[in-house]
């Protein structure tokens, strides 16, 4: 129903009667200020008597038969151009509520054009002029009537790229006061928000989204129009057992914290029953997240074993159902936490579920939250048994009930979540392969026993055992059993079995090749240098004898046809040809065996033909007893072998240096793992130390404090902090608790953990990084691929040219002998013309083969590279090889990592704010107490605070700390004493904080004399807001604003409380290097585009980039995404340089056209890079090599 407010001069309205009234229209006589109205179908009609009196057909009354649908704008008045529609959900309505009164109050507001209210749904539809009135003003008017109102707004969001962006927006907007629900759609690029207009307005919501770096614009002031069921929703309730509560303050802390979690509708905590009952929206959160949030507060929390969630429909406060989402009540599934979604019909239990497995390539995952999002949502679907997603590999392994689900449907489910998905064919997924060394076998019967036992075991697909080599090759299904199980089966037969560790290191070891080519070069050089000396001597002496006539003594024959010079050449060349060139012959044989021709074939052809030709002509001359020894080519093999062997030696040395990057990556892997067996109550029954290669999927691994995680997995017990800098590049440790994912190779800081292995062997994240680096180093640029293809045709081309040269000179000689005679040295009348022609033709042909050999690779290129790298080293730049020298000046784009490259890589204190009005404590005393307290902390932030305090106090020894307690993710508490010696200073002394700012209120005189009543032991609390609230401290608006101002810049703000009083706030951040801004400016002035790419969060990345003048920023990216971004730019024809310092940068450093590593970075990054900046004191080191 509508109560039109304008124009007021109208005195007649045409209404459509309800279905029960026989679909007839009536004319209602009204006064100009009449507020009578017509309800929607099925509601009471206030003017019904008049309709009954005029019940004749419409046409007989002379009226037009007009029909207006409910909710449409009546033609009685023309709405203004700025008219908007708002739908308000009213709460507090009762059956006795006067609909007409409420409508009248709303219509009395300036700017309201029409209003309609339905008691059944509690929805009020209002048409209004948005330029005159807002929904907040309407809600205030309703509040004065004792009613509360919610509104829904539909906002278009631009700039979202993945599910991480979606979760960032939901995580930022959801907790805002007054926001009831938020649903962000990546596919539609929209956000639907249900909010209380009095608390937060539409403009404020749009502004919050824009502050996050996204574009935001209102699509409609009335989002409910997109889904008529916008305020109908099923919710779930879960009971969580909570241990550790001691008083009502604990109850209030839990209720206050959990009620702010997105999706939580209500929470009631019972101290007596040690239980919390939480009503929540299953589309926004799940019981495991709620349980983890309670544990983060320092309490022990566990979910009920029974069905811990039940659907609650038709509650007094119904909640929104967002458009585009299916009702959960349509399905009855159970997720990981045992939560049953909806109340669907019970399925008849089947005796056997037909489980099948599929592998899906997932595109668009950027972080662990994407993995959790896919796993969580797939497990909610009916028919999905298990889901395992690998972030680095970009692959999902899904087991499903084939009678309910199929692989195509699973792929579609992933695509519906906003990711790209492609089904991997079954033949693309290989089975597990295992190579074992078996000892104790004596005969063929042993082999038969082992093979028959293995092949009869379920899960083993094939087994082949060799008695002679004591080796076994086994194919198995890793879903059924693993390597450790197979070894135990063999051991049960009385044999010993061990894993054959081929691994990367054997493939990366170039020691043997380096030794071979080094010995070949030295041997060739020993005999080649005398040959080179004789050649120089002959050229000098030959010119002198030509001037004075006669022949040299060396050319005189010792025997007829054999001169002293040819004898010396033969003796020096033969060892080189046989021993120095044997590796060339081996390589050439292998190449010809595979019907290919490489440079080794060309070298062997040239040297062999030259040597054999020289031997043949020398023997013929001796047989003919020639008066003059013939011209030979004995000098060719030693000279070629010297230069080319040198090139091969240098090449293998360079390969070994390149391979060290992969070897160092593999060294990050743990060598052993502690596999434990758990009892029913998660107690450890047994422990077994096994090689990391034998860890199987599903094993429970114990990780001690300070140890490395041997495999990728999920924490099932314990809490700790982990250093994951090898993936993210960020030095800040990451909190790990039950349900958290851990990465192989990362370090467990403190606290023992039990981890269930999810990815082992080549599937771990570290193995994927190794694979990325290996692929990047072995991949070739298009121009290099063209050169390789060209070289495949080069050898046959040279051979053909050599043969054509032979044929051409033979033809020329027989046609015109004088031409050959002029060019044939030492022509003798005693030699027949045919012999002269043949000799000369062979000489020309061999010359073509010889000069085509790439001897410049062995001499010219290494010399140029040595000179170039020497000049670079003098300037603090280590250049690895000639390719970076050639490529550096062609660079178009430079991509910077953030941490350790643009920034210093370690957190530093940037501000100390002393709350003097509250604490009445001087700065020196605060620094002494804070520094002493944080000295016991292993957290990087604590170390930064301690370092800063020691520097400002001018001492290395601080006070005494006891009762130290650290709560991950919150802060620390302790008692500090013995700091009196730190408080003694001159009264005139003031503190100057280099690199940090201290508010003027902190620049106070010396510490006051300790009064007799002042305690010598102080209670100290240091941590975030939650830690302070948990300990009963109120945070004022001014302090909160000061903290927020730093947090918006990507910095960390912590609070300090001493003796129960808030005393100070410290801001800590990874500061920008002094030379970074200048380096970026210099690169831009050279016309080079500068980009920053980092694994850190978007807010911090944008803040750092703004400080150094970088406008293009890619944040929250993985190592694989850095490689993808480099490839994307290269595909556009750009030359890319990557600058980094961490393990996570090594794949991109290897893939870029020029990889530039910071000398203070990790060994892996330095090995993977092409250029290393050793000396960083120069204010603009980076532009120098470019």
Query: Collapsing DSSP states into helix, strand and coil, what is residue 226?
Result: helix
Query: Measured in whole angstroms, how far is the alpha carbon of residue 721 from the centre of its chain?
Result: 19
Residue 1116's closest CA among 417, 370, 373, 420?
370
| Structural tokens at position 487 | 């070894």
Residues 138, 112: contact at Cβ < 8 Å?
yes
Look up residue 45 and give its DSSP letter.
B
User: In the numeric block, which tokens belong to residue 547?
Assistant: 């001037």
Q: Are 440 and 470 in contact (CB under 8 A)?
A: no
What's the rounded Cα separation, in Å, for the pair 945 and 1069?
11
How far apart CA 36 and CA 29 sit, in angstroms, is: 10
Distances, alpha carbon 929 to alpha carbons 63, 860, 1018, 1019, in Å: 89, 66, 8, 9
Rounded CA-CA distance 965/1027 in Å is: 12
Q: Provide the token pair at 732.
A: 């800040």
| Overall size of the chain counted in residues | 1186
d(CA 368, CA 1116): 11
Neighbours of 1086 (CB within 10 A): 11
Give the strands of the sheet with 471-476, arranged side by side.
Answer: 460-466, 471-476, 432-439, 496-499
* DSSP state at residue 265: E
Contacts of 364 (CB under 8 A, 6+ apart): 162, 163, 370, 418, 419, 420
Given a contact cutoff of 8 angstroms between Cβ atoms, the answer to whether 912 and 1056 are in contact is no
Q: Are 1139 and 1083 in contact (CB under 8 A)?
A: no
Dump the DSSP string for 461-501: EEEEEETTTTEEEEEE-TTT--HHHHHHHHHHTT-EEEE--
DSSP 725-741: HHHH---S-EEE-TT-E
DSSP-based helix, strand, coil % in the chain, nearest 5: 40, 25, 35
Per DSSP, 1144 falls in state G
Instruction: Give the C-alpha distances (Å, rounded to integers) separating 735 from 2, 37, 368, 510.
Output: 56, 60, 13, 41
281 contact partners, CB below 8 Å, separation of at least 6: 181, 233, 235, 236, 263, 264, 265, 319
897 is catalytic: yes
Closest CA to 1052 of 946, 940, 968: 940
With contact defined as beta carbons under 8 Å apart, do 900 and 1160 qualify? yes
User: If you search the block for the tokens 């390149």, which residue do you land on?
Assistant: 658
Alpha helices by DSSP H, listed for 509-598, are 511-548, 564-575, 582-593
Q: In the structure encoding, which two tokens stand for residue 516, read together?
A: 């071979």
In this structure, the dihedral spanned by the alpha carbons of residues 384, 386, 392 and 395, taken in order and rounded to 10 degrees, is -50
Location of structure tokens 């080189």: 576
- Cα 264 to Cα 321: distance, rounded to the nearest angstrom: 15
Q: Which two tokens stand for residue 818?
A: 């004088």
Asked if omega into 925 is within 30° of 0 (cis), the reply is no
Pick the catalytic residue: 222, 712, 763, 897? 897
| Residue 583, both tokens | 């590796």
* Cβ partners under 8 Å of residue 172, min gap 6: 208, 209, 212
User: Which residues are tagged catalytic?
Assistant: 897
């Amino acid at each position: 129903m509508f109560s039109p407010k304008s124009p007021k001069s109208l005195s007649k309205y045409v209404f459509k009667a309800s279905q029960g009234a026989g679909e007839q229209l009536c004319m209602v006589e009204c006064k100009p200020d009449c507020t009578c109205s017509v309800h929607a179908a099925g509601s009471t009609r206030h003017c019904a008597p008049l309709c009954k009196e005029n019940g004749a057909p419409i046409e007989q009354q002379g009226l037009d038969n007009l029909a207006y649908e409910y909710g449409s704008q009546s033609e009685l008045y023309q709405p203004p151009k700025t008219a908007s529609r708002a739908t308000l959900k009213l709460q507090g309505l009762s059956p006795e509520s006067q609909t007409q009164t409420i409508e009248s109050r709303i219509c009395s507001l300036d700017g309201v054009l029409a209003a309609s209210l339905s008691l059944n749904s509690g929805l009020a539809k209002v048409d209004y002029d948005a330029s005159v009135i807002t929904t907040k003003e309407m809600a205030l008017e309703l509040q004065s009537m004792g009613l509360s109102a919610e509104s829904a707004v539909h906002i278009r969001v631009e700039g979202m790229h993945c599910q991480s962006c979606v979760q960032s927006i939901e995580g930022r907007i959801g907790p805002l006061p007054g926001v009831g629900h938020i649903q962000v759609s990546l596919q539609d690029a929209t956000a639907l928000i249900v909010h209380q207009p009095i608390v937060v307005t539409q403009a404020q919501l749009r502004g919050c989204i824009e502050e996050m770096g996204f574009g935001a614009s209102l699509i409609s002031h009335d989002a409910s129009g997109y889904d008529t069921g916008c305020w109908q929703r099923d919710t779930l309730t879960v009971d969580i057992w909570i241990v550790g509560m001691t008083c009502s303050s604990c109850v209030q802390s839990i209720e206050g914290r959990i009620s702010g979690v997105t999706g939580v509708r209500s929470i009631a905590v019972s101290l007596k029953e040690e239980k919390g009952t939480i009503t929540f929206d299953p589309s926004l959160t799940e019981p495991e997240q709620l349980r983890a949030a309670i544990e983060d507060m320092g309490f022990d929390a566990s979910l009920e074993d029974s069905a811990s969630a039940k659907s609650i429909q038709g509650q007094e406060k119904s909640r929104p159902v967002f458009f585009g989402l299916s009702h959960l009540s349509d399905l009855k599934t159970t997720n990981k936490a045992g939560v049953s979604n909806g109340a669907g019909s019970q399925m008849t239990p089947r005796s056997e579920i037909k489980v099948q497995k599929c592998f899906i390539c997932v595109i668009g995952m950027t972080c662990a939250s994407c993995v959790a999002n896919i796993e969580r949502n797939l497990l909610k679907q009916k028919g999905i048994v298990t889901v395992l997603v690998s972030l680095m590999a970009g692959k999902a392994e899904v087991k499903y009930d084939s009678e309910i689900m199929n692989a195509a449907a699973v792929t579609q489910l992933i695509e519906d979540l906003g990711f790209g998905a492609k089904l991997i064919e079954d033949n693309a997924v290989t089975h597990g392969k295992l190579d074992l060394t078996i000892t104790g076998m004596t005969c063929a019967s042993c082999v038969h026993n082992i093979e028959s036992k293995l092949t009869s075991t379920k899960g083993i697909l094939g087994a082949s055992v060799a008695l002679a080599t004591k080796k076994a090759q086994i194919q198995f299904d890793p879903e059924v059993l693993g390597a450790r199980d197979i070894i135990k089966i063999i051991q049960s037969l009385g044999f010993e079995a061990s894993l054959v560790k081929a691994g990367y290191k054997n493939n990366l070891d170039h020691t043997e090749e380096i030794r071979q080519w080094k010995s070949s070069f030295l041997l060739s050089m020993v005999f080649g240098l005398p040959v080179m000396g004789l050649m120089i001597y002959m050229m000098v002496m030959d010119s002198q004898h030509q001037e004075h006539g006669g022949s040299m003594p060396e050319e005189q024959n010792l025997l007829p046809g054999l001169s002293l010079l040819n004898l010396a050449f033969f003796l020096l060349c033969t060892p080189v040809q046989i021993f120095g060139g044997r590796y060339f012959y081996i390589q050439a044989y292998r190449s010809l065996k595979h019907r290919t021709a490489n440079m080794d074939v060309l070298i062997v052809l040239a040297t062999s033909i030259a040597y054999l030709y020289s031997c043949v002509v020398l023997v013929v001359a001796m047989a003919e007893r020639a008066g003059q020894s013939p011209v030979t080519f004995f000098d060719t093999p030693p000279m070629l072998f010297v230069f080319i062997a040198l090139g091969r030696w240098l090449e293998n040395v360079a390969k070994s240096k390149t391979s060290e990057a992969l070897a160092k990556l593999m060294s990050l892997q743990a060598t052993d793992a502690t596999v434990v067996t758990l009892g029913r109550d998660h107690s450890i029954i047994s422990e077994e130390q096994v090689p990391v290669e034998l860890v199987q999927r599903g094993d429970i691994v114990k990780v001690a404090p300070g140890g490395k995680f041997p495999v990728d997995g999920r924490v099932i017990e314990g809490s700790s902090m982990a250093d994951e800098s090898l993936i993210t590049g960020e030095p800040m440790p990451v909190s790990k608790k039950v349900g958290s994912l851990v990465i192989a190779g990362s370090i467990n800081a403190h606290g023992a953990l039990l981890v269930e292995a999810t990815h082992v062997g080549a599937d771990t994240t570290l193995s994927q990084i190794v694979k990325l680096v290996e692929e990047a180093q072995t991949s070739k640029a298009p121009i290099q691929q063209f050169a390789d293809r060209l070289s495949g045709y080069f050898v046959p081309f040279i051979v053909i040219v050599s043969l054509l040269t032979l044929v051409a000179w033979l033809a020329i000689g027989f046609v015109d002998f004088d031409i050959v005679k002029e060019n044939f040295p030492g022509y003798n009348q005693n030699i027949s013309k045919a012999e002269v022609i043949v000799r000369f033709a062979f000489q020309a042909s061999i010359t073509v083969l010889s000069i085509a050999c790439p001897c410049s690779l062995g001499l010219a290129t290494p010399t140029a590279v040595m000179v170039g790298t020497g000049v670079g080293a003098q300037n603090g730049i280590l250049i690895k090889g000639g390719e970076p020298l050639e490529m550096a000046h062609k660079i178009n784009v430079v991509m910077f990592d953030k941490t350790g490259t643009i920034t210093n890589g370690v957190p530093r204190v940037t501000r100390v704010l002393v709350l003097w009005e509250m604490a009445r404590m001087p700065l020196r005393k605060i620094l002494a107490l804070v520094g002493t307290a944080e000295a016991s902390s292993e957290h990087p932030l604590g170390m930064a605070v301690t370092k800063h305090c020691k520097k400002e106090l001018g001492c290395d020894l601080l006070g005494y700390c006891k009762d130290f307690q650290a709560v991950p993710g919150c802060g620390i508490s302790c008692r500090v004493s013995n700091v009196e010696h730190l408080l003694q200073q001159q009264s005139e002394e003031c503190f100057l904080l280099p690199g940090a700012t201290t508010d003027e209120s902190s620049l106070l005189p010396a510490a006051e004399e300790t009064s007799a009543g002042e305690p010598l032991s102080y209670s100290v609390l240091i941590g975030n807001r939650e830690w302070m609230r948990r300990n009963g401290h109120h945070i004022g608006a001014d302090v909160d604003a000061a903290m927020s101002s730093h947090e918006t810049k990507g910095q960390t703000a912590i609070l300090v409380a001493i003796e129960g009083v808030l005393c100070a706030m410290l801001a800590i951040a990874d500061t920008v290097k002094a030379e970074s801004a200048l380096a970026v400016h210099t690169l831009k002035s050279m016309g080079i585009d500068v980009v920053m790419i980092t694994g850190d969060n978007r807010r911090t990345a944008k803040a750092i980039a703004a400080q150094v003048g970088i406008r293009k920023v890619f944040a929250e990216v993985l190592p694989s995404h850095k490689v993808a971004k480099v490839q994307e730019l290269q595909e556009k024809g750009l030359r890319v340089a990557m600058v980094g310092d961490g393990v996570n940068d090594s794949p991109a450093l290897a893939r870029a056209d020029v990889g530039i590593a910071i000398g203070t970075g990790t060994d892996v990054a330095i090995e993977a890079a092409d250029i290393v900046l050793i000396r960083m004191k120069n204010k603009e080191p980076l532009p120098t090599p470019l």
